Amino acid sequence: MSPRQSSRKSEGSDKVGTICRALRRAIIEQALEPGAKLPEDALGERFGVSRTIARHALGQLAAEGLVELRRNRIAVVATPSWQEARDAFDIRIELERLVVRQLAGRLSKNQIATLKTHVDAEDAARNGPDAVSIRLATEFHILLAQMTNSPILVRYVSEVAYRCCLTLSMFSRPHSSECAINEHRQLIAALAAGDEAKVMALMHTHLDSVASRALVTPAPPRGRDLLDILAPYADEEDNEPAAKPAKSARVRTAAE
């Protein structure tokens, strides 16, 4: 590949990255609502890029679960189900336990200071719009992942955290979904103290409580719905001994 081609290629991936960052932010702050259409041509025009570049960006966001690609290549902001949201949180908990296990007792003073500064910013944004608080809280978790210096962990944590962030904006009641700021401070203290078991337990409780606060009203599982619907019919059958014998017996009865 000539230098010129290679620079053109990296220019393209820079632009894909720029669109992804802008769209990700607009989606998790709910400027773009779940189900909103994202036409390639409009995006291309807005960001001054070709449709091909816009399509690459949409593909990347689809891989992260923030965008759904429908038939005829129509892209929309994803609308995950309640169960998908809960599943994403369960995966996130395990990944982030791994993050803090790796970081416990290994952070430099500068890194601790960076984390504290971030939590101060979360504190300052507390009375602002919910969506901004949710984004800042999510970025705290991504910051932790980045401190592991493990690219694969950063990638997985970012993807699942943004996915959770989208579902928080969708399902949570107002002021219910932010990470508790004091819990972020406790995490930092336990990391600095190097208490691996404690910080893993704290992370588990912290994310589990975010999920429970936010996802407080699950849609009833379809299976239970069906059972509820069928309950009166089943009761009726139980009270009718003639219904117990095999089908052929009922047919005979009907024929008599």
Taking the least distance from each CB to Zn ion, the nearer of 66 and 181 is 181
Q: Which is nearer to Zn ion, 77 or 161 (CB)?
A: 161
Instruction: Quote the tokens at residue 108.
Output: 């430099």
Q: How far is the CB of 179 from Zn ion (least distance, A)?
A: 3
Q: Give the residue nearest to Zn ion (CB).
A: 179
Q: How far is the CB of 87 from Zn ion (least distance, A)?
A: 18
Give which of 131, 136, 212 is closest to 170, Cα–Cα.
131
Q: How far is the CB of 39 from Zn ion (least distance, A)?
A: 34
Which is closer to Zn ion, CB of 180 or CB of 219? 180
- Provide the minimum distance between the beta carbon of 22 and Zn ion in the complex, in angstroms, as a whole number: 24
**What is the 3-class SS of the chain, one letter each residue?**
CCHHHHHHHHHHHHHHHHHHHHHHHHHHCCCCCCCCECCHHHHHHHHCCCHHHHHHHHHHHHHCCCEEECHHHCEEECCCCHHHHHHHHHHHHHHHHHHHHHHCCCCCHHHHHHHHHHHHHHHHCCCCCHHHHHHHHHHHHHHHHHCCCCHHHHHHHHHHHHHHHHHHHHHCCCCCCCCCHHHHHHHHHHHHHCCHHHHHHHHHHHHHHHHHHHCCCCCCCHHHHHHHHHHHHHHHHHCCHHHCCCHHHHHHHHHC
Nearest to Zn ion of 64, 122 (CB atom): 122
Q: How far is the CB of 247 from Zn ion (least distance, A)?
A: 58
Minimum distance from CB of 53 to Zn ion (Å)?
A: 33
For Zn ion, the closer of residues 10 and 209 by Cβ is: 209
Give 50 or 183: the residue with its C-beta nearer to Zn ion: 183
Residues lying near Zn ion in the complex (CB under 5 A) are found at: 137, 179
Least CB distance to Zn ion at residue 65 (A): 19
Residue with smaller CB distance to Zn ion, 107 or 137: 137
Q: How far is CA 220 from CA 4, 82, 91, 114, 163, in A?
A: 57, 10, 22, 42, 22
Do 24 and 38 contact (CB within 8 A), yes or no?
no
